[in-house]
Structure 1
Amino acid sequence: MNSDLDVLIVGGGLVGASLAIALDGAGLVVALAEAVPPRVELQPSYDERNLALAQASVNALRALGVFEPGTPLTPIRRIHVSRRGDFGAVRLDAAELGMRDFGAVLPARELGNALLRRLDGCRALLRIAPAQAIALATRHDAVDATLRDGDATRHVRARLVVGADGSESFVRRALGIGVQRHDYAQAAFVTTLTTEKALDGLAYERFTDSGPVALLPLGERRAGLVLSVPAGDAARVAALDDDAFLAFVHERFGWRAGRFSRPGRRKPYPLARALAERTTAARSVLVGNAAQTVHPLGAQGFNLGLRDALTLAELLRDAASRGSDPGDAALLDRHVERRAADREATTAFSDDLVRLMGHDLLPLRVLRSLGFHALERSSALKRRFALRGMGFRGDASMLGLRP
């Protein structure tokens, strides 16, 4: 294997794999270090979740050749947002706003399959798996990385190292980058269930005192469920049998979609925010959950991370076309600059919404109801709100803008 690389991507999850694909054919020597062998069932990020992909993400993944005909994408064409105990609701309809879709829902495992198939077609990509980064040493012209595979180690040198290795990023720690953490004291149950009424492209976000509940459309009356509960209640909810769990979901969500049945496997995930204090260091950059892990409210986590990867790929491809150094400090500064507005706005929106919707104080209930009323009555506000949720914010990558 060539040990002199232009780019070493540490982490082969959804964002790291997307970045590797986006760099395919750029004329760069790129390696992707994956902690586990490249099989969907072994990747921790290719789990039972159902991902709500913003339209910008759908556009980009199509442009990259990740989505082939037959990929089971379920369009999101309508969105219903409400808060238990408050007056009013916000109803977004893509057709009424002059749009085709707001995005699409896809099981994470299906996205993992699609990414792996596309990675297999990246002829110039070096895939190192299984391999974990265990040491990084930054020189003036490169980063020396030590990778471990079982008892064996190998050494590579890269002009740029990308940390795409998740919330507990080794790359972030090795670079000495601090992280701001906040525990939401909540856990999310992620599963699927069958609805009595076909959702037909309708996604729900229902807020309650105990946390949000999201219902995402899938095919054949199946729906993806994300149910947040207080952390202290997670063990009790996890122990419920199917009938008791469905009764609990109805108590929290209501009956808008009719009776629920056939819940899938479920387990709680603790919810916390983790924001890297900076996203670059000398010849290194963080993307995805290594840069920021956000509350799943609004399904912005993967979409935000993908936008990190697409912007970085765009800058690296431009540098390669000019023969420039991919680890140049000016390029990394430009990446930070381009990502700042989107990163700050998306993380703040997610965090503020959790706090605003999580309290049952009367003044907040009145404020929320007035906000729902104003948004529901204004097509201009709805369109602006929808476009931001669709990923069209900040200095976006051109890939996401292509229909």
Structure 2
Amino acid sequence: MTHTDPTAPAHSPVLQADITLVGGGMSGAVLALSLAALRRPDGRPLQIVLLEASALAQGAHPGFDARAIALAAGTCEALARHGLWAGLAPHATPITHIHVSDRGHLGQTRMTAAEYDLPALGQVIELGAAGQVLQEAIAQTANIRMLCPVQLTGVTPREHAVELALATGEQIITALLVAADGGHSFVRQALNIPVRRHDYRQSAVIATVQTAAHPAGRAFERFTDGGPLALLPMQQGLSSLVWSMPGEEADSIMALNDEAFLAQLQQAFGWRLGRFLRTGVRHCYPLALTAADYPLGQRTVLVGNAAHLLHPIAGQGFNLGMRDLDALCAIVASALAQGEDIGGYPVLSRYWQGRKGDQETTIWLTSALAQLFSNDHGPLVAGRNLALSLMARASCLKGPLARQTLGVISPVTKE
């Protein structure tokens, strides 16, 4: 891994790469390592360049903050196929039960790993811990050159390559450009790739909390009038809180001292894990949908939050992104085997045709759930509670939702 000083003179003004990834967070790091493992028919590896604008701080990557994310069962399987799960698994906590309920109403449903013959429905991992594992792996991978910190200043697509200009004065010429640079993607804006946006008029309050009862693998999604409240099990008996609410309410919640905050959280969540005892530092993020309906440019593909920034309900953000990364890696591997141009339109078009349906379905699902379960309109409340009650009684009704959100194969039919 290479760390560059933006003020230093360029030692190599033109750098050639097979694939350049912009953004070294979770999506960029996972994809860089997955692509680095591919080989041409003659055994030669791809030359990967990974660009990250933010400097590393005390060994931690700025793209990996204090949040925790839920990795669906399908995501863990994909990470294992790419040889990455073994390093991440010791830092993860399995989800064995999911409890979904509607505050103040009777509707609720449960999912268990046993229903789907899985050891776990998913895993929860702190981004900080994941970042350290992935950065160590990148540093040990000879065909990944990571430039960090470095500022991308220009993107110029050509017929046979994309030319990238850096603030250092260096230039990168790459056959394929992958933008993994987040919801405010520089690459997406530079190439004028259009996006649709929807402001949920909500913010997410995020914190690590401790409860009197050990979560013991139990995850909770509780719907309140203001928005969904999720608790994910973590190591050491802690839970990761993601609490969505109207923006003005979030401002008030953030202004409370810890004791008052825990009291409000107790009232919203209830007592399924006993009393809330402690909270860590709280963070607050505005929530909006940003989605590129056609996440391709010339020799360029958008992935992760650069392609689709979702509402956190049902925890689909990185899991949808992982399915994109997995598919892109498979398409590149196939193109290499057939001697195709990995950045050419036929290759990228095949990728998008394979991913379009899943992206559209997941974006629709998360938006619909966010609006359905953040509404106190009488008929909607009655309808969603009926749906939860029916799913609790008929496992066949949970199957489609489980397959989409967990990334698992159809549940095994029990005799």
TM-score by length of 1: 0.93
Equivalent residue for 2:402, pick from 382, 386, 391: 386
- Residues 22 and 179 in structure 2, CA contact (< 8 A), matched pair in contact too: yes
Residue 55 of structure 1 corresponds to 73
Counterpart of 2:68 in structure 1: which amino acid?
A: N
Offset of 1:352 from its aligned partner? Answer: 0.2
Partner of 2:243: 227
Which structure 2 segments of 5+ residues have no match? 1-11, 39-44, 411-415
In 2, are the aligned partners of 1:97 and 1:379 still within 8 Å (CA)? no
Aligned residue runs from structure 1 range 149-188, under 5 A: 152-188=168-204
Q: Residue 400 of structure 1 aligns with which residue?
A: none
Map of 1:78 onto structure 2: 97
Aligned twin of 1:98: 117
What's the CA shift for 1:282?
1.1
Name the counterpart of 2:264. 248
1:42 is displaced (CA, Å) by 5.4
Preserved contact between residue 207 and residue 280 of structure 2 (Cα < 8 Å): yes
- Going from structure 1 to structure 2, the CA distance change for 1:6 and 1:238 (only over 3 Å counts) comes to same
Give the aligned residue type for 1:43. Answer: H
Shift of the 175–371 alpha-carbon distance from structure 1 to 2, 3 Å rule, reads same
Q: In 2, Cα distance between the equivalents of 1:163 and 1:219?
A: 32
What are the within-5 Å matches in structure 2 for residues 125-274 of structure 1? 125-148=144-167, 152-274=168-290
Contact kept in structure 1, 2:94 and 2:217, CA below 8 Å: yes
Residue aligning to 1:111: 130
Residue type of the alignment partner of 2:25: G
- In structure 2, the residue corresponding to 1:359 is in which secondary structure? coil
C-alpha displacement of 1:43: 3.2
Q: Which moved more, 1:125-134 or 1:204-213?
A: 125-134
Matches within 5 A, 1:315-334: 315-334=331-350
Q: Distance in 2 between matches of 1:139 and 1:39?
A: 36
Contact kept, 8 Å, 1:34 with 1:132, in 2: the verdict is yes
SS in 1 for 2:401: helix
In structure 2, distance between residues paired with 1:299 and 1:157: 36
1:135 match: secondary structure: strand
Residue 370 of structure 1: CA displacement? 1.4
CA RMSD of superposed structures (Å): 1.7
Question: 5 Å matches for 1:335-354?
Answer: 335-354=351-370
**Distance (Å, rounded) in 2 between the aligned partners of 1:86 and 1:100:** 31
In the alignment, what sits opposite 2:5? none
Q: Residues 39 and 65 from structure 1, CA distance in 2 versus in 1: closer, same or farther, beyond 3 angstroms?
A: farther
Write out aligned runs for 1:360-399 (5 A). Answer: 360-392=376-408
Paired residues of 1:36 and 1:42 also in contact (CA < 8 A): no
1:97 offset after TM fit, Å? 3.4
Give structure 1 stretches of 5+ with no counterpart.
Answer: 395-403
The equivalent of 2:53 in structure 1 is 35
Residue 356 (structure 1) aligned with residue 372 (structure 2): yes
Which amino acid is 1:52 matched to? A
Look up the SS of the partner of 1:85 in the other structure: coil
Give the match for residue 397 of structure 1.
none
1:304 pairs, out of 320, 333, 349, with: 320
**Secondary structure in 2 matching 1:3:** strand
Please tell me the residue identity of whatever aligns with 2:280: G
**Could you tell me which amino acid in structure 1 is paired with residue 72 of structure 2?**
A
What amino acid is the match of 2:232? L
Letter in 1 for 2:80: R
User: What is the identity, as a one-letter code, of the residue corresponding to 1:49?
Assistant: R
Specify whether residues 192 and 257 from structure 1 end up closer, same or farther in structure 2 by C-alpha distance, changes over 3 A only. same
Q: CA deviation at 1:101?
A: 1.0
Report the alpha carbon displacement of residue 304 of structure 1 after superposing the two structures with TM. Answer: 1.1
Shift of 1:276: 1.4
Asked if the contact 1:276/1:292 (under 8 Å) is kept, the reply is yes
| Contact 1:74–1:105, Cα closer than 8 Å, also in 2 | yes
Residue deviations 1:34-90, cap 9 Å, x none?
Answer: 112455765333111111111111122233333336622111110000111332201
Q: Please say if residues 100 and 220 of structure 2, whose CA atoms lie closer than 8 Å, have aligned partners that are also in contact.
A: yes
Do residues 120 (structure 1) and 136 (structure 2) align? no
Q: Deviations over 1:4-37 (max 9, x none)?
A: 2111111111001111011113222211111124
How far apart, in 2, do the equivalents of 1:11 and 1:370 lie?
Answer: 43
What is the rounded CA distance, in whole Å, between the counterparts of 1:8 and 1:29 in structure 2? 9
CA contact (8 A) 1:55 1:104 kept: yes
- The answer to whether the 8 A contact 2:107-2:384 is kept is no
* Residue identity opposite 1:21 in structure 2: L
Matched residue count: 391
C-alpha distance after superposition, 1:218-268 (max 9, x if no partner):
123211111112101222211111100100101111111100111000121
Assess if the C-alpha contact under 8 Å between 2:211 and 2:277 holds in 1. yes
Shift of 1:135: 0.4
- What secondary structure does 1:171 align onto? helix
Q: Deviations over 1:136-166 (max 9, x none)?
A: 1111111111012xxx221011111111100
Contact 1:210-1:358 within 8 A present in 2 as well: yes
Change beyond 3 A, Cα 1:55–1:384: same
